């Protein structure tokens, strides 16, 4: 039960926490500080940590990064001092990106130990992963998974709870695993998955709310192992939500083809022509048996996998969706309000 409560706190968006538990005397009241001022403090603290700490890169086999001996690799951090004074600091090994929230450009650092050989992760996907959340000030682990769990990355109203912005923006820099092995006891060993860590300023974390074991205005670290990606289809229109981020900027909410204030990924009639999106698509099925030497099917440029199943004989059936363009004007029918098929 304790793990469940903490997990909900970790994945919930910041707005869920502001103003909650106002009658709980055990929760101290925290005044909301200026975000720009807090960010300056946070990034200085993060960069100081990165300059004075290292991770256990000597335990990772970089000669064969996707070898089985790395599949159980666990990141640990240590201070550069004493016997470890010759270690390479994290600041020389991390990558960075700039993300903007509340009119502030945040620098987000992430450590990529291993990219992952599987699918890309998108902001509107679900992630199947292990993680460990660490208070950067004292190293306290305020949350962690026992077994891999599924997390929604995007918040949709009150029905779907996403993750804090910095966690999502760092996690999408990794790829999932490519395959897994059934251990025969109900557990699986995941292979080739992304391994790393994300260093998150509080302004794109929990900011003034904090969470159990992480005071307000405290930057944090998340170690992650991204096992798998689950593509969502929130509006059940047979187009995966990540494909409805038309401008590819990682924000599915700013793509609204028909201007009806419903983003395409939660709108089942994207062009507003009165015909459901799913009825303005074509569909196909592919079958092959890799055990018999059959190659993976090649899709058309406008064709995407919906799902696949494998039977007892090893034959795989893949169902696909095709973005039909009836008038060949470069705009798929489901985004073209001048094309409207008749539906029986």
Q: What is the pLDDT of residue 31?
A: 74
User: Which residue, 270, 265, 235, 268, is CA-closest to 250?
Assistant: 265
Which position has the token pair 């966690």?
Answer: 167
Q: What is the pLDDT of residue 19?
A: 34
How far apart, in whole angstroms, are the C-alpha atoms of residue 61 and residue 56? 11
Q: What is the pLDDT of residue 343?
A: 55
Share of the chain above pLDDT 90, in %: 80
* Candidate from 71-85, 181-195, 265-279, 284-298 with smallest mean pLDDT: 181-195
Give the residue with greater pLDDT, 179 vs 168: 168
Which position has the token pair 């993750």?
Answer: 163
Instruction: Return the CATH fold of 2-230.
Output: Chitinase A; domain 3 (3.10.50)
Has residue 24 got a pLDDT over 50? no
Report CA Rg, the chain.
23
Assign 261 a pLDDT band (cuts: 50, 70, 90): very high
Instruction: Provide the β-strand partners of residue 109.
Output: 96, 199
Helix, strand and coil in the chain, % to nearest 5: 20, 30, 50
pLDDT in tens, 133-163: 999 999 999 999 998 999 999 998 878 889 9
* Candidate from 12-16, 61-65, 215-219, 330-334 with smallest mean pLDDT: 12-16
How far apart, in whole angstroms, are the C-alpha atoms of residue 325 and residue 17? 45
Mean pLDDT score of the chain, rounded to an integer?
89
Has residue 12 got a pLDDT over 60? no
How far apart, in whole angstroms, are the C-alpha atoms of residue 256 and residue 267? 9
Q: Are 166 and 200 in contact (CB under 8 A)?
A: yes
Which position has the token pair 């998150």?
Answer: 200
User: Which residue, 342, 243, 149, 222, is CA-closest to 252?
Assistant: 243
Q: What is the pLDDT of residue 7?
A: 37
Q: What is the pLDDT of residue 172?
A: 97
| Secondary structure (H, E, C), 102-164 | CCEEEEEEEEEEECCCCCECCCCCEEEEEEEEEECCCCCEEEECCCCEEEECCCECCCECCCC
Task: Classify burial at 259, counting beta carbons within 10 Å of its beta carbon; exposed 0-12, middle 13-18, buried 19 or more.
Answer: exposed
Share of the chain above pLDDT 70, in %: 90
Assign 70 a pLDDT band (cuts: 50, 70, 90): very high
Has residue 49 got a pLDDT over 50? yes
How far apart, in whole angstroms, are the C-alpha atoms of residue 128 and residue 151? 7
Instruction: Please give the average per-residue pLDDT across 172-195, as a whole number.
Output: 85
Has residue 10 got a pLDDT over 60? no
Q: Are 297 and 304 in contact (CB under 8 A)?
A: no
Instruction: Please give the average per-residue pLDDT across 9-36, as a whole number.
Output: 51
Q: What is the pLDDT of residue 342?
A: 59
pTM confidence score: 0.85
DSSP per position, 165-177: HHHHHHHTTSB--
User: Which residue, 162, 190, 340, 143, is CA-closest to 250?
Assistant: 162
Q: Is 270 helix (H, G, I), strand (E, B) or coil?
A: coil
Q: What is the pLDDT of residue 30?
A: 55
Has residue 1 got a pLDDT over 80? no
Instruction: Please give the average per-residue pLDDT across 295-317, as a whole number.
Output: 93
Q: What is the pLDDT of residue 344?
A: 55
Sketch the domain layout of the chain as residue ranges: 2-230, 241-335
How far apart, in whole angstroms, are the C-alpha atoms of residue 66 and residue 70? 7
């Amino acid at each position: 039960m304790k793990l469940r409560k903490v997990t909900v706190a970790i994945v919930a968006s910041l707005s869920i926490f502001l103003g909650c538990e106002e009658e709980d005397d055990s929760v101290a009241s925290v005044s909301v500080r200026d975000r720009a001022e807090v960010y300056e403090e946070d990034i200085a603290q993060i960069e100081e940590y990165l300059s004075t700490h290292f991770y256990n890169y000597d335990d990772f086999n970089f000669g064969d990064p996707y070898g089985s001996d790395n599949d159980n690799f666990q990141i640990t951090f240590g201070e550069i001092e004493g016997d470890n004074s010759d270690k390479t600091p994290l600041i020389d090994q991390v990558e960075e990106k700039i993300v903007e929230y509340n009119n502030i450009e945040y620098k987000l650092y992430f450590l990529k130990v291993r990219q992952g050989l599987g699918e890309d992760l998108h902001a509107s996907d679900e992630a199947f992963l292990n993680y460990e959340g660490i208070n950067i000030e004292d190293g306290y682990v305020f949350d962690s998974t026992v077994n891999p769990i599924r997390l929604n990355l995007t918040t949709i109203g009150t029905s779907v709870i996403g993750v804090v912005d910095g966690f999502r923006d760092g996690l999408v820099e990794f790829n999932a695993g490519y395959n897994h092995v059934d251990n025969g006891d109900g557990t699986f060993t995941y292979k080739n998955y992304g391994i790393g860590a994300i260093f998150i300023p509080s302004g794109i974390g929990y900011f003034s709310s904090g969470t159990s074991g992480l005071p307000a205005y405290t930057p944090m670290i998340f170690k992650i192992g991204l096992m798998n990606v689950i593509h969502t289809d929130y509006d059940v229109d047979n187009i995966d939500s990540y494909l409805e981020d038309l401008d590819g900027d990682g924000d599915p909410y700013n793509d609204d083809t028909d201007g009806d204030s419903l983003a395409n990924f939660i709108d089942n009639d994207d062009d507003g022509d009165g015909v459901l999106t799913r009825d303005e698509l074509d569909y196909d099925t592919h079958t092959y048996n890799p055990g018999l030497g059959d190659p993976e099917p090649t899709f058309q440029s406008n064709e995407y996998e919906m799902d696949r199943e494998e039977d007892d004989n090893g034959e795989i059936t893949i169902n696909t969706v095709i973005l039909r363009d009836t008038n060949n004007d470069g705009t798929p029918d489901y985004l073209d309000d001048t094309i409207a098929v008749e539906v029986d």
